[in-house]
Structure 1
């Protein structure tokens, strides 16, 4: 009898490891800001392939990694798809009002 394979894990910073400079750096890029805005508007998990980004796959992967490492998104594997969700609760707890202000400003 073979053992079940372990699910692939993706590392995320804990809420107390979030740094304002890293969050702002990640949000400063228009493409990454659009990813965050799309996740905020959807209110759901979205696979990386759900985003139609005008960049190569490797560049897209880089942008998602920057967002994950900054603590803006949570990623998990579902089969071969990497699912993304916005870490709104963690961000609001550590930086109250920041995400709402940035998203509101981006819509103007």
Structure 2
């Protein structure tokens, strides 16, 4: 029998400003948030970043641990989605300010999404 470790996500009241701002301190993570801001859940394989898969995994874990994203595993695939409602409830307006500033300064623009269907 194979056991899959489920990702831990902080509850709303456990999210801290320091953790969230720390997660926003890296351009790759800001780029990932920009991509996820469209509200769609994305498979990790759809994300296009100029880093190794292990580094992408690290960045996604930092975002998840801060409460910015939610990760879901389905079989061998992982999916990630922005926790916009939770962020807006805990820190009203913060996400919009960060996204506006990131777009204005072109932070994270080198991160994208592959629009081709995922490989089986």
Query: What is the TM-score when the length of structure 1 is the normalising length?
Result: 0.90
Shift of 1:49: 1.1
Q: Per chain length, whose mean CA-contact separation is higher, i.e. which structure has more relative contact order (CA < 8 Å, sep 6+)?
A: 2
Q: Which runs of 4+ in 1 moved over 4 A?
A: 5-8
Counterpart in the other structure of 1:92: 88
Q: How does 1:70-85 map to 2 (within 5 A)?
A: 70-85=66-81
Quick one: distance in 2 between partners of 1:79 and 1:89? 27
- 1:8 touches 1:77 (CA, 8 Å); kept in 2? no
Q: Which runs of 5+ in 1 are unaligned?
A: none
Quick one: distance in 1 between partners of 2:49 and 2:75? 22
SS at match of 1:28: coil
Q: Which runs of 5+ in 2 are unaligned?
A: 105-120
- 1:26 touches 1:32 (CA, 8 Å); kept in 2? yes
Quick one: distance in 2 between partners of 1:104 and 1:86? 16
Q: How does 1:19-98 map to 2 (within 5 A)?
A: 19-41=16-38, 43-98=39-94
In the alignment of these two chains, the number of paired residues is 104
Counterpart in the other structure of 1:17: 14
Query: What is the TM-score when the length of structure 2 is the normalising length?
Result: 0.81
